[in-house]
Every structure is written in C-alpha cells, then in structure tokens.
C-alpha cells in the first residue's frame, strides 16, 4: 500500500465512494465517527477532525483502510481508493 497524508475532507471523499459515511450523532469533541456496514455488522472508527483541513497521517489512513476493508488484499487498489 502506498498510503499518503490526506486532509479530512479528502479522506471523506475517498471513503464515501465505498459506502463509508460520517455519523454526526456519534462523534465527541474534536472526533467524528465513521461507519460502514460490513458482513451484517456496523464497523465504526473515530477520526480526529479539528477542521476540514486537518491532515491525517499515513498510518491513520492505513488504519481506516484496514478497518473498512479498503486495502489491496480486499480488492481495492490504491488507484481506486485515491481516485
């Protein structure tokens, strides 16, 4: 995987293509909750977001991709993910 640093709004644009959405009622403080239904179960992942331009580290993007099964091993290439 060739993950790269993304701003929060860029990350949302990438994951929304694969059915991941932000649940506004679940986030607390400076964190927002991402959700996706996977194998009949809701997977959630809290993401820090101080503003829409907040940059997320490569390791964080990698963790999001693994949690929501958006990796090369799961059939989603880097080109597909980043657009």
Q: Looking at 34-38, 46-50, 58-62, which range is the least confident one?
A: 46-50
Domains of the chain: 6-82 (3.30.920)
Residue 52's pLDDT is what?
87
Q: What is the pLDDT of residues 4-46, one digit of tens each?
A: 999 999 999 999 999 999 998 887 788 999 999 999 999 999 9
Task: Count the Cβ atoms, other than its own, within 10 Å of residue 34.
Answer: 22
- pLDDT of 81 above 90: yes
Residue 1's pLDDT is what?
57
Q: Which residues contact 10 (CB under 8 A, 6 or more apart)?
A: none
Q: What is the pTM for the complete model shown?
A: 0.89
Asked if 10 contacts 3 with a C-beta cutoff of 8 angstroms, the reply is no
CA 74 vs CA 17, 68, 69, 78: distances in Å: 15, 10, 6, 11
């Amino acid at each position: 995987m060739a993950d790269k640093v993304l701003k929060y709004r860029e990350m949302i644009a990438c994951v929304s293509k694969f059915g991941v959405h932000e649940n506004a009622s679940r986030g607390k403080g400076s964190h927002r909750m991402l959700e996706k239904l996977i194998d009949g179960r809701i997977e959630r992942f809290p993401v820090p977001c101080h503003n829409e331009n907040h940059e997320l580290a490569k390791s964080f993007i990698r963790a999001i991709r693994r949690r929501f099964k958006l990796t090369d091993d799961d059939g989603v290439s880097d080109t597909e993910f980043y657009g």
